A and B are shown apart, each in its own frame.
Chain A
């Protein structure tokens, strides 16, 4: 597609529910990142994929967070048993993976856990 697409744009979940956030990167982009942005803060790294391989998941805050990219394109970030502290905007970004790459962001999913 023309840009990075994320869905849903807004998600309201009751505490304890599981949620799944989707990211469609730019076609052909090798690298895919997930970031968490709390209100009034900068994006914080969650995880990184190179094609279908998850090379870095050091930013995932707990084992309730899980990300996958099974075919090296679309990625899903899953949060199990959501907690109020999970409320944030979740940003997805993709890039070509080359040295002089540019990172392209989606518009994010705003998750509110009640």
Chain B
């Protein structure tokens, strides 16, 4: 079984709809992250959480919100999706002993029409 899972893997939605992307991990890590990948831009950090009570904005948090429901679960929401949020979204985890070494989920491909 995968250590970091993301659901759904693919989603097509319409402008203005609310969307939630979910991430679960079985690695027991305390830190979790959400990134988006766009062609030519690499991965950019949206939000990160170092424990259940800690939520921090990344470099591109506008238009997104997150919820850390438990140590193992970190959800990303788009309250009102817009076409330029069409991207590949990745969840990642790490712990305090792994330095910058993060483990990534398989990604969610989101298309906003």
Tell whether A and B belong to one assembly. Answer: no
Residues of A within 8 A of B (CB): none
Residues of B within 8 A of A (CB): none
